Amino acid sequence: MNIRYYCEHIAFRDLFNQDPMKIVTKILTEKEEYIYNLFLKIYDEKKQAFPYQKKDFKIEKAAKDQLEFLIINLPEQFMEPTLCHKIVLAYSFNLDLYQYFTVEDGNDALFGNYHVLCAWIEGNHVAFRNLEKEDEEDLPEKIYDIMMVN
C-alpha cells in the first residue's frame, strides 16, 4: 500500500473518527505544523522517506450555516490516482455531526484529468461526484448539501 494513501485514507481518518474534537482543536491551534508532523511521524514509523516540507501543506477554514470546514490542502508532488489533493473535515460546532471527506486525484488515461469528491462513511469509501477545478471553490457548499441530505 502506498504510504501517502495510508496517511490520507486510513491513519488520519481513524484519528479523526476516534476523537474529532482533539483533531479539530490541534489543527486550529497548530495549523499546518500539526498535519506536517502527523504525516512525518507516520512515514517515520513505516520507515519511509518523507518527501514533503511544511510549506507543502495549507489549512483553510470555511463555514456554512451550522457546519464548519477545515480544508487541508496536501502536497501536489508525487500525485497519482486515489491520492488526495485535499482532505476536508466537516463538523458541527458541538461535533455531534462530523465527516471526513477527500478530494482525490482521478487522473486516468481514458478519462483525462479530474478530481473526485469522496468520503468514508461507516468504513466504506463512497465517491459522490467528479469535480472540475472551479467546483472546488464551492467545496463547503457541496459538502454541506451531502451532509444535510444523508
The C-alpha angle with vertex 98 and arms to 144 and 75, in degrees rounded to 5, equals: 80
If one counts the domains in the chain, the total is 1
The helix-helix angle for 20-30 and 32-45 (nearest 10°) equals: 120
pLDDT at residue 100 in the model? 96
The pLDDT tens digits for 29-47 are 999 999 999 999 999 999 9
Q: Are strands 67-73 and 84-92 parallel, antiparallel or unpaired?
A: antiparallel
All 3 cell numbers of residue 125? 469509501
Number of Cβ atoms within 10 Å of the Cβ of 60: 13
At 3-13, the pLDDT tens digits run 999 999 999 99
pLDDT band at 138 (very low <50, low <70, confident <90, very high): confident
Q: Which domain holds residue 47?
A: 3-149
Whose cell is 518523507? That residue is 50
